[in-house]
Amino acid sequence: MTGRLFGVGVGPGDPSLMTVKAVDLIRGADVVAYHCARHGRSNARRIAAEYLVGQIEEALTYPVTTEDTDDYQGRIDAFYTDAATRLAAHLDAGRDVVVLAEGDPFFYGSYMHLHKRLAHRYEATVVPGVTSVAAAAAALGTPLVERDEVLTVLPGTLPPDELARRLADTDAAAVMKLGRTFTGVRTALRRAGRAEEAHYVERASQPEERRARLEDVDEASVPYFSVGIVPSRVHVATTEQARADGLAASGVSSAAMLTSDGTNAATTGRVTVVGLGPGRRDRLTPEAFTALAEADDVVGYTTYVARVPVNPRQRVHGSDNKVEAERAAFALDLARSGRRVAVVSSGDPGVFAMASAVVEVAAEDYPDVEVRVLPGVTAAHAVAARIGAPLGHDYATISLSDRLKSWEVVERRLAAVADADMVIALYNPASRSRTWQVEAAKEILLKYRDETTPVIIGRDVDGPEESVRVVELAALEPTEIDMRTLLIIGSSQTRWVADRVFSPRRWTPAT
């Protein structure tokens, strides 16, 4: 019997957006195939990576890019013919083959070229996936179309004049394949009179997601994996009316609901401090999701508020990372006026983050304002999970920043914890202005720890530049450490075996 062919959509980037059927098929496949560029990296494989558990992998490497114009179509056709032959060999041997497709397999997907060549010979099933267009609309918090509006999906590769004509003729639009075409697409939007309505979404649903007005985007920064969205005009026009109708039905006028500064007087204000986790959206707790969705205002360090999905109903207040007390007072003022405020922090807000600032300022000056703190996955836990279980026994967390305490205090605490032979998670190890603390900490630790003590260096965990590696304490190079890095220093009991590090639960006294 021959094997079965499956074209499986893995969605726009966030692994949690994959369907249950997609996950089941990937796990049960004999062969998993995916397209990749000549550098060898595959976005589709990255999305599905946690479900690859020993399957045969077939990397289908494109021989050319769109920049190669010499007989491009002939070379790409030959590539797909060869790829189909490779997969047919597996199918003829009775192996089920899953071809991973970013987004949806039949929506500008590479899988369709294999389907054309194989579906008439083998049993073939296509599993749909969330498209980048749907993910972009969700990220913007704005419907694409409403009522009898028409949505047009356009490739950015069309000539600007043709794009402008189609954009002018439709109610709403999604423009794919930006990258090199971005300048032409923006020109077309301007000619069609739609540029002011257009939004830009890059890598929707992924940790590095970026959203902006399309007119504000630097054309040199646009990757291929981005979408231009011209959303529903009907939705914008009817949303305020719908809200007014709802208030009228309840017997309350919209004017009566608002104070002189525009805040909602009928709402009981509160501040909820929300932990966003280390980066990936699927690490958010359901409780945190709900708090973000309910908020009228989102307050936080600019980098962190950018990770919150855009909601046109909400006001977003980003600020510098060195004004925690001022940010807390600002949020509490909003809550006192009746607003529901979400103050966001990365990781857990109670670990070197905004919870302590908000609670402290509230205790001193805002005793009447309700404050809730919602936990999140800490950076230390995220790094530890990547490498094993280094925090399996007693451990301490220490910040190397001397901005809010003296370095003498840091030294004393480092020495005490090192002498107690506990694992240490070091936060805020370095920055542009703090360049010597890691070296000083290393000198202190070497007085109490063996030179071979494992040190875990976790950088940008859950981000696009994530790296987690292990070195011996003596080999730790301070110049390689920056503010996006977290260090975990092992104890005398911590073991480094192959690529795993763990601290045994049972303590064995040194002999």
C-alpha dihedral over 44, 49, 496, 390, to 10 degrees? 100
Range name among 12-26, 62-76, 240-254, 353-367 with the lowest pLDDT average: 240-254
Range name among 83-97, 309-323, 418-432 with the lowest pLDDT average: 309-323
Predicted pLDDT of residue 261: 43
Predicted pLDDT of residue 125: 97
Q: Are strands 199-202 and 226-230 parallel, antiparallel or unpaired?
A: antiparallel
Separation of alpha carbons 324 and 312, rounded Å? 25
Strand order across the beta sheet in which 370-374 lies: 315-319, 297-301, 340-345, 270-275, 370-374
**Whole-number percent of the chain with pLDDT over 70:** 92
Separation of alpha carbons 48 and 61, rounded Å? 18
Residue with structure tokens 């046109």? Answer: 312
Local confidence band at 386 (pLDDT 50, 70, 90 cut-offs): very high
Whether residue 511 is predicted with pLDDT greater than 70 in this model: the reply is no
Whether residue 253 is predicted with pLDDT greater than 60 in this model: the reply is no
Local confidence band at 249 (pLDDT 50, 70, 90 cut-offs): low
Are 300 and 345 a contacting pair, CB within 8 Å?
yes
Domain definitions of the chain by residue range: 5-130, 133-234, 260-374, 386-502
DSSP code, position 11: B
- Cα end-to-end span (Å), the chain: 63
Name residues whose C-beta falls within 8 Å of residue 244's C-beta, 6 or more positions apart in sequence.
Answer: 254
User: Token pair for residue 11?
Assistant: 């969605």
Please tell me the number of Cα atoms within 13 Å of 318 on its side-chain side: 7
- Residue 202: beta bridge partners? 210, 226
**Whole-number percent of the chain with pLDDT over 90:** 63
User: Token pair for residue 135?
Assistant: 């993910």
304 vs 5, which has greater pLDDT? 5
CATH number for the segment(s) 133-234: 3.30.950.10
Query: Taking Cα atoms as reference points, which of 136, 131, 174 lies closest to residue 152?
Result: 174
User: Token pair for residue 273?
Assistant: 């401090």
Predicted pLDDT of residue 265: 41
For 260-374, CATH number out of 3.40.50.1360, 3.40.1010.10, 1.20.120.520, 3.40.50.410 equals: 3.40.1010.10
Topology match between the domains 133-234 and 386-502: yes
Are 172 and 234 a contacting pair, CB within 8 Å?
no
Local confidence band at 160 (pLDDT 50, 70, 90 cut-offs): very high
Whether residue 259 is predicted with pLDDT greater than 50 in this model: the reply is no
Strand order across the beta sheet in which 31-36 lies: 56-61, 31-36, 97-101, 5-9, 124-127
- Residue 31: beta bridge partners? 56, 97
Predicted pLDDT of residue 460: 87
For 386-502, CATH number out of 1.10.1040.10, 3.30.950.10, 3.30.420.10, 3.40.50.1110 equals: 3.30.950.10
Predicted pLDDT of residue 162: 95
Whether residue 68 is predicted with pLDDT greater than 90 in this model: the reply is no
Query: Taking Cα atoms as reference points, which of 308, 307, 284 lies closest to residue 295?
Result: 308
For 5-130, CATH number out of 3.40.50.150, 3.30.2010.10, 3.40.1010.10, 3.40.800.10 equals: 3.40.1010.10
- Residue 372: beta bridge partners? 272
Separation of alpha carbons 342 and 355, rounded Å? 11
Separation of alpha carbons 430 and 435, rounded Å? 6
Q: Convert the pLDDT of each residue in 163-174 to its tens digit.
A: 999 999 999 999
Mean pLDDT rounded to a whole number for the chain: 88
Separation of alpha carbons 56 and 97, rounded Å? 9
Q: Convert the pLDDT of each residue in 116-138 to its tens digit.
A: 999 999 999 999 999 999 999 99
Local confidence band at 489 (pLDDT 50, 70, 90 cut-offs): very high
Q: Are strands 388-389 and 500-502 parallel, antiparallel or unpaired?
A: parallel
Are 400 and 429 a contacting pair, CB within 8 Å?
yes
Separation of alpha carbons 203 and 225, rounded Å? 6
